[in-house]
Amino acid sequence: MRFDDMQAVTISMEMERRGADFYRRAARVSKTAAVASLLDLLAREEDTHLEEFARLAERVRRGPARAYDEELSAYLTAVAADIVFPGGVVELAGEGGLRDPAAVLQYAIRSEKDSILFYTELSSRAADDSARETFREILAAERGHLARLLALLEGLREG
């Protein structure tokens, strides 16, 4: 599959949508109220990112559409497929994430780190300045989310 900047932004939005859905599904089957509450919070944060990314997508829609080369398209497609919790709720459960808030946060942190790598690549390969700036803003949002998750995890360890 070959895609352009607008398709990359669309993939970014889909990743956020899938992340929110994942957290909601996990919350429904979680074993403790604290974990369910944390998962609901993470779902709402993904919803907020989706709204931000949709707003940013308008900037890319107005710019030129230049298809990425085949190698980059294949790479980005593979990376995007692996970012949004490829093991799903079953993997999270296997890591204790349905009853341990720290396991949930560690799982979310891994996903955010993968997202940051993805958006770093997109920002460096964007076809035009508006797309590049959009991916940089998305990247900044993901870095901020990662910092928040790390702070939450640290708070659990101290508390």
Note the pLDDT of residue 126.
Answer: 82
**Cα–Cα distance measured from residue 39 to residue 152, given in angstroms and rounded to the nearest whole number:** 13
The CATH number covering residue 19 comes to 1.20.1260.10
Total tally of structural domains belonging to the chain: 1
Range of the domain at 105: 5-158
**Cα–Cα distance measured from residue 140 to residue 51, given in angstroms and rounded to the nearest whole number:** 15
Provide, for the chain, the percentages of residues in helix, strand and coil under a 3-state DSSP scheme, each rounded to the nearest 5.
80, 0, 20
The overall longest dimension of the chain from CA atoms, in Å, is 50
Hey, what are 145's tokens?
A: 């989310």
Rg (CA), the chain: 16
Binned average pLDDT, 10 residues per bin, the chain of 159 residues: 73 85 90 92 93 84 70 69 64 71 90 88 83 90 94 89
Q: Report the candidate in 90, 88, 84, 103 with the shortest Cα–Cα distance to residue 149.
A: 103
Note the pLDDT of residue 15.
Answer: 84
**Cα–Cα distance measured from residue 45 to residue 58, given in angstroms and rounded to the nearest whole number:** 21
Instruction: Tell me if residue 100 falls in helix, strand or coil.
Output: coil
